[in-house]
Structure 1
Amino acid sequence: MAAASTSAVRAELAGALDASRLAREAAERELHRSIAVRSRAAETLERTAERRGIEESERVRLRGEYAAADRVVAEQRAAVEKARQFERAAAIVADAFETEATSASPLAAALLALVGSRTKRARPRRAAA
């Protein structure tokens, strides 16, 4: 006998798909924001390149700001890729479950057991809260 119902697994998978989509969208927004910050830092740095009378310490500071903004963009790109991979994985698992849910497949049984074990662990926490 399965530890959880097929509908419970479907609900868990739907929740995972929604959460992964929201995480990806948030990561993409942060990436776009960080690209804009880096662009502003680059424009400021470029405006000072030909300007006379600017101290070298100011140029060093502006280069540092650009480098920091560029690092943030790289980190955000990695976060977006990770979120996309998780979203794809959640979709693959959900699709596989839907395909296998009506059979006696090991995948469907494993997902049913997983959701059942998570449900059992979550109930005592909710009661304590």
Structure 2
Amino acid sequence: MLKKGSKLNSILTGTCPKCQNESMYLNKNPYNLLSTLKMHEKCSHCGFRYQIEPSFFYGAMYVSYGLNVAIGIAVFIISYVFLHSSIETAFIAIVSALILLYPLVLRGSRNLYINMFVSYDPDSKV
């Protein structure tokens, strides 16, 4: 499922979408909040520039919005429908989940966004 060359591999691991040999981020830990979004300028293996154009990752905000809505709906369904909690408890669960998953959503939205535009190339080399 997570074989090299699949989009899912690049999205979940945060590797270069072109060659999938190197992490795009300076720090692999997304919960290091000071460096959550700090990225390498380009891939040291294939030379792909991650900032394709100025302000490229502003589009990832829309992906982030969609991911947050999906998480909120999923947490609501789990807490309100399956666990039969009150609306107030479900709201607290949604806010808590969004706060806890914030760094993962930030990176995931960037990974998803760049993979919408760049495909894997097994022949990419410096």
TM norm structure 1: 0.30
The answer to which structure, 1 or 2, has the higher relative contact order (CA under 8 A, 6+ apart) is: 1
Q: Considering only CA atoms, is the larger Rg found in Structure 1 or Structure 2?
A: 1
TM norm structure 2: 0.30
